[in-house]
Chain A
Amino acid sequence: MTPIIQTQNLVKRYGTYTALDQVSVSIPKGSIFGLLGPNGAGKTSLIRIITQITAPDEGTVLFDGKPLVPADVARIGYLPEERGLYKKAKVGEQLLYFAQLKGMSKAEALEKTKKWFIRLDIKDWWNKNVEELSKGMAQKVQFVATVLHEPSFIILDEPFSGFDPVNSDVIRDEILRLHDQGSTILFSTHRMDTVEELCSHVVLIDKAKKVLDGSTKDIRNQFKTHRYSVETKEPINFSEFPWQPETMNIEKEECYASSFKLVDGQSPNELVADVIQNAEILGFREEMPSFHDIFVQVVSREPEAV
């Protein structure tokens, strides 16, 4: 299947500063895609090129297999990190305006806006000025503005910031619903819990370069530590144990935890077999790396640019 977005060797320079350096990213259709990277890595530059806010100095962007054209803005929804609405304009009118700028007819925009107002239970906001809304309320309006024109590709930059846990869940459910209906979602976020919970693919950008790319499953496998933790009822007697532990018999409430790092050729089954002979096993699992760890590991190991 053709990816919905494919960037090829994108380069973006601002004067002597390079914001993007040969970045090629392929976003599979129907995926929830995480765009990760430290502050100033070039995430926003990449998003601005995809949304046609700026043009790349080199490289191309394919949308659904074809080079990006101005008309494609109608199929892309973008929620910028810095939220913005006209403060002195009415919520309803403003949403209609944004939808029409995306190419919707007024009647269609009106119908869709009304649906969203009912869905998010914000009907009585229609005639309010944005300045009368709280930050969280304005965020909701902004979210509606992003998805009102039913884009097939939705870019969300830190979509949950500013929401309380209840509204955060409401928005997450709406995002998942849109995903189920066929939209591809691109998250740009620093919240690794969001990535682990929602994303099927991630790309990590650091210092203008792509440093990590793949499905969340593959990346976890790639960063496997081969560390296994064992929980036993009684302490393992390590004096005669054939395996070299990393941690030994840490006393927990109802068990003792030990961990082992396996090297090539060693199988976890053999480890389990040896543990069974020594103590009663309460738990055994492989310690998978968190995306937080992966992020920190990848970003900090990058040498300073020379």
Chain B
Amino acid sequence: MNKILLIIEREFLSRVKKKSFLIMTVLGPILFAGITIIPTWLAMRDSTQTTVSVLDKSGLFAKRLKSNKETVFVSIDGSEDKAKQNLMKAGEHQMLLVIGETNGNTSPDIRIFSESNPSLDLVHSIEGQINSELKNVQLKSSGIDPALVEKIKPDVDIKTTVLNDEGEKEGSSAAATIVGFGAGFLIYIFIFLYGSQVMTGVMEEKTNRVVEVIISSVRPFELMLGKIVGVAMVGLAQFLLWMILSYGITTVAGTIMASQTGKQQTIEVAGDPEASKEMKKKMGKSGILKELQNVNLVSVVMYFMFYFLGGYLLYSAMFAAVGAAVDNQQDAQQFMLPITIPIIGAIVMAQFIIKDPNSNLAFWMSVIPFTSPIIMMIRIPFEPPFWQILLSMVSLILGFLGTTWMAGKIYRVGILMYGKKVSYKELWKWMRY
């Protein structure tokens, strides 16, 4: 037992001390934070003002277009050709908006001339403003008061409610989808990342021939188990560091940007009244954020830890067996296939499972230990019946005990077998030695 601890310690420290671990640990959260922060930051930074000269031949819209921090609309007169010439001379951040003739009942021909392609946001914003103006005109000409229409705005919002033994609870399908898929995907990544670390570790020891020195001191099974557990701890440590760092970075960056971000949103809202209303509705009343509170995050994290460890143990034992059976990376490929098929299959099926998390397919895939770490994790936020979770957990534990036992047998023979290209038949023989 003492020796296993020694092996775990070495496997853990030798990996954590590596530069690549440090780089991954620091880069991970920065990348994560980057994905969330940089778009906001870019939007904020890009506040150069664009002047849009509006040549409105219909005379209906020019005064209605609202200027904001980024875009200033200036109404101009004269011929289109002259306006174009002026635009050429004007230089950067200048655009020409030409609105064709219309009486309001037909859509005018609208063109934007600019030096480079205008941003999609700007185009949408102008489209939105002109559409709503056209609507007003058309409503008026049909004898309807636009103010009345504005008043009559039914607002239906379906609330999903989970009704079970524990009583009623407000549902959270959207949030559950996000949480479930995220957790399942993380497990997928972790199994591959750390499973292959176990494999290369075993292969390194085998090709270095260190293994013979070590197994003259400890049992091969102890060495394999020590390595698997050591790498698992590296994974957990990295995961925890990522959580802490990501939280730290996003919080700090969020605070810094808070005030400016606030302004940013009002600008967008001003740009397109229809869209902003939609957004407010999402964010507020039945928003994802509110739904997230209904997902039991603590239990999700607990289950995540279990399925992460269980899935990792199940697969890393097989990765260790592959590493022991082969002499080099190329030979490893053929044995990787049967290991990777169920796990890739699980992540591919995830999108179907998430649409119908209580289907038969979902049940079976979340009970079979080779797919359960990912599939059950996807179902967890949808709160499947407890007996199914229990069954899945028990079968996962039995599953990894089984693969570890089998892998141990292959490992024991494989690490001492050099210069031999092994086949599946050979592996089967080793298991029965």
On A, residues with C-beta under 8 Å from B are: 14-15, 48, 51-54, 70, 73, 76, 78, 80, 82-89, 97-98, 100-103, 142, 145
Contact = CB atoms under 8 A, between A and B. Distances in A.
A48 B214 CA distance: 12
A101 B216 CA distance: 9
Given A86-B208, A101-B3, A53 B213 contact: no
B210 interface: yes
Nearest to A100: B6
A177 B403 CA distance: 48
A80 B433 contact: no
Interface string B327-358: 00000000000000000000000000000000
Interface string B391-433: 0000000000000000000000000101000000000010001
A48 B416 contact: yes
Contact of A78 (B10, B211, B216): B216
Nearest to B213: A84
Contacts of A103: 3
B209 A84 contact: yes
A76 B214 CA distance: 13
Nearest to B7: A101
Contact of A53 (B209, B210, B416): B416
A242 to B, nearest CB: 60
B416 A101 contact: no
Contacts of A48: 416
B276 to A, nearest CB: 57
A87 B208 contact: yes
B215 A53 contact: yes
Given A51-B216, A78-B213, 11 more contacts: A54-B416, A76-B216, A82-B209, A83-B209, A85-B208, A88-B14, A97-B10, A98-B213, A101-B3, A101-B7, A101-B218
Given A14-B433, A101-B3, A101-B6, A52 B208 contact: no
A83 B416 CA distance: 13
A91 to B, nearest CB: 13
Nearest to B223: A101
A84 to B, nearest CB: 3
Nearest to B214: A101
B106 interface: no
B210 A85 contact: yes
Contacts of B285: none
B6 A97 contact: yes
Contacts of B212: 53, 78, 80, 82, 84
A73 B208 contact: no
Contacts of A101: 3, 6-7, 214, 217-218
- Most chain A CB atoms below 10 A, which of B7, B205, B213: B213
Contacts of A51: 216
A84 B6 contact: no
Contacts of B216: 51-53, 73, 76, 78, 80
Interface in B280-303: none
A48 B219 CA distance: 12
Contacts of B10: 97
14 contacts: A53-B212, A83-B209, A84-B205, A84-B212, A85-B208, A86-B14, A86-B205, A86-B208, A88-B14, A97-B10, A101-B7, A101-B214, A101-B217, A101-B218
A97 to B, nearest CB: 6
- Most chain A CB atoms below 10 A, which of B6, B14, B208: B208
Contacts of A97: 6, 10
B19 to A, nearest CB: 11
- Most chain B CB atoms below 10 A, which of A52, A84, A101: A101
